[in-house]
Structure 1
């Protein structure tokens, strides 16, 4: 999205300092800022104002600041927009950007599968028209406005992922993005440390469908009772999806040796054969949610099937590779909760290798449920005949290794008889295990 700095100042209630220049896109990271972008210094563990000079050297055309222009910026007569709070200003800029867009906006939330559904929905809708989507997991108070502001002028649809760390968060994100279609993937035991109960999680996630206008569409998981019940919380039309129920469903599901699923997509608008590039049988559920979202914005069934078949997922989500040794590596290390961990373990169990090993780190933010949920995952792994190497947590029922390097050592010989799953919550950083195995 291209704006003049004066437009930015007006949109965020700031004061323009310096020449009125054009900006194209917004970045909050001085290391990746692109030529001509607006740099927004966020104050968190580190103060982004300390990196304004770096951003300007990298090519930023202007910057927001909650301080007086100073340091390297002043001598260069760089353009600044002074504001009281840079994060709040970024949110207002996102709100402004949404107001200048009249295409459909698909909002996606849920306890599991948000990013994969976002990626698949963007591919399915993108088969029909230029579509912009959140990069990776940009789903919070910074990521959502960045997604809105960084929409290319050519995009005719947008897909926005939304996360929640408390009640009211989704509602606030919806006030910025004003989705016309709202997708709720599933509700389960994730972030219960923050919410207290699964029912409270459902209450928060349902804020998405409550935000929809009557002309909008709520896409709900018919197989998840807490999500299906959200139909009573919206004035929008309701379109359901699911494996055992729903208007958008799959039949004849099969999974090949590479964990790629095929199925017949059945919808109110017709049927089509789908062959997913994404790995794991549980990706069928994500594909159904994405297909329903695409259907809601008017994409033809054949285009939906083609888009789903070509969809590529964000990094570290069910990345399946065969190592030089012939071993199979499943890198699903981006995040974990009991629902996604269960799905990943069942995918590992489906791999045709005599030895199946799961390198598992902590599932974070489960609160009082943590010990029981980890123990249940440990029991499931043993039931499936999967060896566990726990990293930095004993809750899976085994003595843990101390870190990722020790986990690699504990794996021992990884040959053509072996399949390895790497999974944990993001804070565990277990992608380093997958990287080390890939290097070998």
Structure 2
């Protein structure tokens, strides 16, 4: 964070100082909400959660080097006490962002947010110091904490914004107002909470409504291939730039094809020229993500060749999102278990099918180990059934449906589509899936593991890799305490 005194912070957040001997003391380190992550010179934010109250760890945080604690009550240690810790954290982020002078890029969408954010960040980082959202910390706590990691040297701030309902993105953009706003797509993720795709579009469009006008360099980057997204042009004062496969898009892809290993390649077209791109990521769905990143980079002055090279060199920064690992015995494990919705599930299955093509001639098989897609409301049965049917249409070798009724719907869809008998199986939990795979996997097989985060299906991928000598140390996104 940029250096601020405790007195300055108290003024910004409207708080009262308690047990602070020197209000001029500077916070020069990170602002964190996990006491285990405190570093000397930092600020500890104490949240009272459902299971753990961060206030209980305040003394330990100060002993670890925190200059003070942002808290809801006096604690007997240096503290800035505020009526609402979350509101105060947001106010602090807003003040820091206003002082930075960095270009703020924000993005949202029903699917692909994290992968696209990682691509944008990697491309921009080739030109100037860049800060971006780690993993999927894209809510009212994770977003301001990310913004507060920026320093005076930061030139680009790339923030992912999620939403669980109308008004959420409007709130997030009020904390960190973007100059460039990206909307990727409007799908069915969280449709049970939103109540329909039209409501999802209403919520996602809050991104472009927040942007400054074109005379203030505001830019809305919209997906030309998604009608609900392209229609958002009427909701913004900013200049609109389109990306997609459409011939009308300002930044588009042509000659899209997959390599023998399932990685997409295409010719990138921008208003300033063309260049070839071959992504290191897996699956054709990443082409759209790469085009969004290219559109942002082009607007920020990178040449088409610089963009193409950076995209071709970019990897996966966030865990459990199409992480591809080949074991010494020739089994390939694709860990995409961080989350799942109908759009991302279909994209992952198509990527699995493409990866399996090169191995089919040598007897390799494709395994789809799938679980529930959460928060689909009344659409849950139909969407799970459709995914099971798609597995058959893509000619995948095996479907392992893991979990309760949603897994039963997956398996039923596959069975009804193609009379898949032994090719599909329903197992109760992750351990049962692990036991099955250990018995039946053979060299050349490709295993995709994917489900909503609540199922914890990453255990399957972890077990398969650990027994082959690979390690998977954990989430990389610590819980608050």
TM-score scaled by structure 2?
Answer: 0.87
Alignment of 1:203 with 2:206, yes or no, is no
Find the counterpart in structure 1 of residue 287 from structure 2: 284
1:189-213 CA-partner distances (Å, limit 9, x unpaired): 1101110001110110000001111
Q: What's the offset of the Cα at 1:180? A: 0.4
> How far does the alpha carbon of each residue in 1:142-179 deviate from its partner, in whole angstroms, 9 at most, with x for none?
01111111113211111110000110110111111110
Q: Distance in 2 between matches of 1:374 and 1:322?
A: 29
Residue 291 of structure 1: CA displacement? 0.7
Which of 425, 441, 447 matches 1:420?
Answer: 447
Measured after TM superposition, the shift of residue 140 of structure 1 is 0.5
| Matches of 2:279 and 2:387, distance apart in 1 | 27
- Residue 264 of structure 2 corresponds to 261
User: What corresponds to 1:388 in structure 2?
Assistant: 399
Which blocks of at least 5 consecutive residues in structure 2 are unaligned? Answer: 413-424, 468-481
Q: Tell me by how many angstroms 1:33 deviates.
A: 2.3
Indicate which of 355, 361, 365 corresponds to 1:355: 365
Distance in structure 2 (CA, Å) of the matches to 1:38 and 1:315: 27
Q: Write the mapping of 1:125-204 to structure 2, written as runs, cut at 5 A.
A: 125-204=124-203
C-alpha distance in structure 1 between counterparts of 2:26 and 2:261, whole Å: 48
Q: Does the CA contact (< 8 Å) of 1:250 and 1:264 recur in 2?
A: yes
What aligned pairs does 1:17-416 form with structure 2 within 5 A after superposition?
17=18, 18=20, 19-20=22-23, 21-23=25-27, 24-45=29-50, 46-70=52-76, 73=77, 79-215=78-214, 216-245=218-247, 246-313=249-316, 314-351=318-355, 352-353=358-359, 354-386=364-396, 387-392=398-403, 393-398=407-412, 400-411=426-437, 412-416=439-443
Displacement of 1:299: 2.1
Shift of the alpha carbon at 1:261? 2.0
Say whether the 8 Å CA contact 2:47–2:71 is kept in structure 1: no
How far apart are the structure 1 equivalents of 2:272 and 2:456? 43
Deviation of the 1:34 alpha carbon: 2.5
State the secondary structure of the residue aligned to 1:232: helix
Cα deviation 1:83-135 (Å, max 9, x = unaligned): 11211111111111111122211110000011111111111122222111111
Preserved CA contact (<8 Å) 2:261 2:354: no
State the Cα deviation string for residues 244-281 of structure 1 (Å, max 9, x = none). Answer: 34111112223223322222110112112222222222
Deviation at 1:297? 2.0
Asked if structure 1 preserves the Cα contact closer than 8 Å seen for 2:369 and 2:401, the reply is yes
Question: In 1, are the aligned partners of 2:399 and 2:411 still within 8 Å (CA)?
Answer: no
Aligned-partner SS, 1:182: strand
Q: Determine if contact 2:108/2:207 at 8 Å carries over to the other structure.
A: yes
State the distance in 2 between where 1:407 and 1:272 align.
Answer: 44
* Cα-to-partner distance string for 1:58-95 (whole Å, 9 max, x where unaligned): 3322211111123xx4xxxxx21111121111111111
- Residue 343 of structure 1 and its aligned partner are, at CA, apart by 0.4
User: In the comparison of the two structures, how many residue pairs are matched?
Assistant: 433
8 Å contact kept, 1:170–1:207: yes
Runs of 4+ aligned residues of structure 1 deviating over 6 Å after TM superposition are none
TM superposition score normalised by structure 1: 0.95
Q: CA deviation at 1:379?
A: 0.3
Q: Are 1:276 and 1:310, in contact at CA under 8 Å, matched by a contact in 2? A: yes
1:76 aligned partner: none
Give the aligned CA root-mean-square deviation in angstroms.
1.4
